[in-house]
Amino acid sequence: MSNTTHPKILVTGATGQVGSKTIDFLLLNKEVEIVAAVRSPEKAAPFTARGIATVILDFDDEQTHLSALKGIDRILMVTGYTVDMLRQSKALLDNARKAGLKHVVHLGACGRDDTTVAHWAWHQLIERYIEWSGFSYTHLRPEAFMQNVLSYGGKKAIENGVIQAYVKDARLSWVDVDDVAQVAAIALANPELHGGKTYRLGYDAVTFEELAALMTAVIGKPFYYEALAPEVFLQSMVDAGAEMTYMNCVYDHWKRYAAGTIPGADDTFDNFPEITGKQPVKWADFIEKHKDVLDY
């Protein structure tokens, strides 16, 4: 009888878009053990019901770190959308090193290595700290999530066929969250193949005008693009009481997109078939897959 133990993978952000989908893909692999990191017993219940182990992990409470990381071999590291991500990431990585964790798959952000978009650069600083700490690593840099046209900030993103965005006529690179999660799951399961790699994940580049035209063609009802000034976004965040250090960075990057001053905003990549053996989702595929949500 074999006494081989399977590597134990901790998924942070387990209730979010990427984390939850990564767990779905990992469940297809019988050679790994999955642990979902949650902030409360209430959040653990849906995972427990599916037979998935859970631990309590609060990025802001370092007392939870070592117990959550005990026995963990690999981690999907998904941080929050505030400037606290820098402090939180350092603390978690320091404790992961103490716990003997080996491989980190970090969910970062868009951008070339020389980006000066602030919150993208923060993720790159975290990447460098992961490397400096001596972990095996896989850095994921997804472009804009296609799912953002379905819902954003907890609200339906498109009403009556009107698509609103703050980027004027910029062409953006996009990726389906499912494709990001699939790459994450593969990297977590196979660090010997994907260690030391940085994967930029963006597979279709369109303007919002082009996106509206594509939705019109696929769904058979008119869709329109309404370009909003980045200042509209900023005021909405102020009105919502959002954490403005981070949101000012987002405002700045909307301004840069609109001005056409982000190098490589429409960069796309050919790495997905090599990593997964499949073709990535393109916009036509995504719209077809989500017709019921987009239709009106």
Sequential pLDDT tens for the chain (296 residues) = 334 699 999 999 999 999 999 999 999 999 999 999 999 999 999 999 999 999 999 999 999 999 999 999 999 999 988 899 999 999 999 999 999 999 999 999 999 999 999 999 999 999 999 999 999 999 999 999 999 999 987 789 999 999 999 999 999 999 999 999 999 999 999 999 999 999 999 999 999 999 999 999 999 999 999 999 999 999 999 999 998 999 999 999 999 999 999 999 999 999 999 999 999 999 999 999 999 999 99
- Residue 76's SS3 state is strand
CA gap 178, 197 in Å, rounded: 20
- Residue 39's SS3 state is coil
Sign of CA dihedral 137, 142, 146, 147: positive
- Give me the CATH topology for the region 8-142+176-201+267-279: Rossmann fold (3.40.50)
Q: Which of 76, 71, 69, 73 is nearest to 94 (CA)?
A: 69
8 A C-beta contact, residue 174 and residue 203: yes
CA gap 83, 68 in Å, rounded: 23
For residue 130, with 0-12 CB atoms within 10 Å meaning exposed, 13-18 middle and 19 or more buried, which class applies?
A: buried
β 103-107/8-11 pair status: unpaired
CA gap 141, 15 in Å, rounded: 20
The 10s digit of each residue's pLDDT in 50-71 is: 999 999 999 999 999 999 999 9
**Domains in the chain: boundaries:** 8-142+176-201+267-279
Question: Hey, which residues does 137 pair with through a beta bridge?
Answer: 104
CA gap 81, 59 in Å, rounded: 12
CA gap 37, 165 in Å, rounded: 33
